[in-house]
Amino acid sequence: MKENQAEFQEEVTYLNETVNFIQNELHSKEAALSQKKNDLIASRKDMWDDTVHMPQDIEDLIDIYKYISEINSVTTDYANVHKSLNQYKKALEAPYFARIDILEEGFPEVDKIYIGLMNIMDKETLGVYVYDWRAPLSGLFYRYELGPGSYSAPLGTIQCEISRKRQFKILNSQLKYFFDCSLAISDAVLQEVLSRNSSPQMRSIVETIQREQDLIIRDVETELLIVQGSAGSGKTSIALHRIAFLLYHGLSSGLNSSNFLILSPNDILNQYISTVLPELGEENVQQTTFDSIAFKLFPGELKPEGRSDQLEKLISLPEGPEKSLKRESIEFKGSHTFVQILDRYIDYYAKRIVPFQDVYFNGVFLATRQQLKNRFLKNEIDIPMAKQLKKIEKVILDKVHPLQKERLKKIEQIVQQCEGHELEVKPFSRLLSLKEGKKFLDSIQTFTQVDCFKMYQTLFTDKNLFLKLSQGLELPQNIEEILSTTDHTLKQGQIGYEDCAPLLYLTLKVEGSHPLSEIKHVIIDEAQDYYPIHYEVFKHLFNKASFTLLGDINQTIEKNTGISLYDDVINILNKKKSLKLFLTKSYRSSYEVNEFTQKILGPVKNSSSFERHEAEPQIVWADNFASLTQQMAQAIDAYLDQGYESIGIVCKSQQDATTIYYQLLKHTKVNLNLVTTCDTTLNKGVSILSAYMAKGLEFDAVLVYQASAEKYSSEFDRKLLYVACTRALHRLSLYYTGELSGFLKFSNTKKSGN
């Protein structure tokens, strides 16, 4: 006991030393920040006083530029000090969370290494109080048990012996407790963290990173890293910590947050995960959705359908020919086969369809259509079609330019002879010349400009052309219906979500543009929801990037796919080093909830459960809709009384979510939040949303609305039900009227009646 007290006092002493150092640094940085602020104000005042406000010549502009450069430099210094100050303020609350004792090979003394969110070092003595969790040395804590270990250093690999691993609970600069463990993360810490209530935004997992997760986070060599992880395995959290690690690792190479992009399924999830990187001391990276990319790249008059709208439409359709046609159309347009057809079409369009014409100007012959075509097809360095045509346009206009001057003189002579324009010969002649030039430009742009939307539309309007291009390829049996339905939609100026990726692919190939080429690393969440054609688009959009893909095949909604999808992705993106990793342990849900949700998928178990035991899920039957609504309202009140702060009512569709929202308003005074595709934030309290909008989110308690055979019967429905149930951390209840879904008729399931 005395030993423990002595050790506790020793740790308290070290914590106090660290806190005192941080407080001194805070005082120093606050003073520095105040000085930087004064410098910034002074620089701006000097610029106002010493420069002209309406520059008259280049010298004035040079003077202004010098002041602007100085102001930008001082502003950057101010921002850096401000960021550092905020990091130290955060570190003051809990400077570190772990300690390892190591004896490096060739050294006589044991080093005590404390690990936290940031480096805390005395720059005068070079003594390190705390090491950043991303430092190579800190990796020993996550990767090794007690005993031998190694880490990378500038001089090579350092061998060492790990004699202690200690974890701390520090709140408000006070040590609450610590304990030693042999494995990377003690189950006690993990239990404590996982037992907390959820929050409206994702938290960091830096204190509880597991060995298999750390291997993913610290991988800097793999250009395409694919993580297949079961629901609740921490895929998204790992990806965000991987970004933080890569930013730390890439400081020397000039990598910054603007070089990273997170591609999420919707804006709700983007907002949900947006606080993790700032919590880890990094600026937020760019976040977007595929919908947003498509909307920005398509002309304003076009109306692309969003992913959520497509899913809602698909879910709402009853089983039958119309739904089958929709699904087959989605499947076909996302396939390798359709990519091949588009590639053939681009080649065919270039060789057969571009409407070259003989070119004349002012009676002077410039080029025959065949000469232009030959020049266009002589494309030895594979310049994209649109750029090649623009080059031809420039060549023509360069020839026309001197002819226009001669033509202008002739026009002036003609105007001089006309009555009524004697006083405006030159301006009127120039106006006529401009109109004539515009007409000429319009005529050559009939073949030097490509309208990708019209080009795509023609593929579906001209059935014979489509069939010609698809010779030797396997097409859906109802291909003619797919062609006619798509043609009808496109003629109305509407683009189905399933047409967004093909149209983007066509546009990128034809125009050869890389609008997001500054991106060096892309995180793609819910990777299983994308088709091969999406990855072809990503390959062109992010042509200089490495990738981290996060997916769960069991959460694929509208299509039938397997692990082979990831092999397709590897072939498409074609990176030098690719790696597939599998995370099969689920940490989000309690043991009981996770075991329950695994049974929904069938007899084959896809993940193991972390041993955090709570109440068994409940299946509740009601004999009518009014009774069901009342019981759900009572459950909401009960969960809130038990201290659960976030409750999700997860429905099959947005239509169902809207229905139960208005019914529950009649039975409870609790504030209810109806989440729609227009929302960008998730609030605490009770959220009512569709299963597809709930992907990636988590709630303390989940109530599944109408888990009946009528709602959930197809394989498509099975995945939706699985997604809905796996959102629960602590409590799961399913409500239904009529007959229970067949996916829930497994043994040992507790049922409650009215």
DSSP state of 355: -
How far are the Cα atoms of 261, 400, 614, 662, 737 from residue 633, in angstroms, in the given order? Answer: 40, 77, 22, 12, 15
Q: Measuring CA to CA, which residue among 331, 250, 252, 302 is closest to residue 530?
A: 331
What is the C-alpha to C-alpha distance for residues 148 and 612, in angstroms, rounded to an integer? 31
Residue 622, annotated ligand binder?
no
Annotated binding residue 316: no
Phi (first) and psi of residue 586, to 5 degrees: -100, 130
Q: How far apart are CA 373 and CA 351, in angstroms?
A: 8
Q: How many helices (H) and strands (E) would you count in the chain?
A: 26, 26
CB of 559 closer than 8 Å to CB of 536: no
CB-based contact 674:651 (threshold 8 Å) = no
Q: Cα separation of 238 and 217, whole Å?
A: 6
Q: Are strands 156-171 and 147-153 parallel, antiparallel or unpaired?
A: antiparallel
Query: Cα torsion for 403, 408, 410, 413, to the nearest 10°?
Result: -170
> Does 250 show up as a binding residue in the annotation?
no
The closest alpha carbon to 580, from 589, 571, 591, 590, belongs to: 571
Q: Is 595 helix (H, G, I), strand (E, B) or coil?
A: helix
The reply to whether 576 sits in an annotated binding site is: no
Give the whole-angstrom CA distance, residue 569 versus residue 485.
Answer: 29
d(CA 101, CA 180): 11
- Flag whether 229 is marked binding: yes
Q: In this structure, which amino acid lies at residue 451?
A: D
- C-beta separation of 277 from 244 below 8 A: yes
- Which residues have a Cβ under 8 Å from the Cβ of 527 and sit 6 or more positions away? 226, 549, 550, 551, 566, 569
- The answer to whether 651 and 660 are in contact (CB under 8 A) is yes
The Cα 62–Cα 148 span in angstroms is 62
Two structure tokens written together for 716: 């498509």
Q: How far apart are CA 52 and CA 429, in angstroms?
A: 41
Instruction: Tell me the two tokens of residue 439.
Output: 């007409």
Give the chain's length. 754
Three-state SS for 470?
Answer: coil
Report the distance separating Cα 550 and Cα 254, nearest Å: 26
234 is in an annotated binding site: yes
The answer to whether residues 168 and 11 touch, using CB atoms and an 8 Å cutoff, is yes
Rounded Cα gap, residues 152 and 218, in angstroms: 12
- For residue 460, what are the CA distances in angstroms to 53, 333, 456? 58, 12, 7
Query: Which residues sit in the known binding site?
Result: 229-236
Query: Which residues sit in the known binding site for ATP?
Result: 229-236
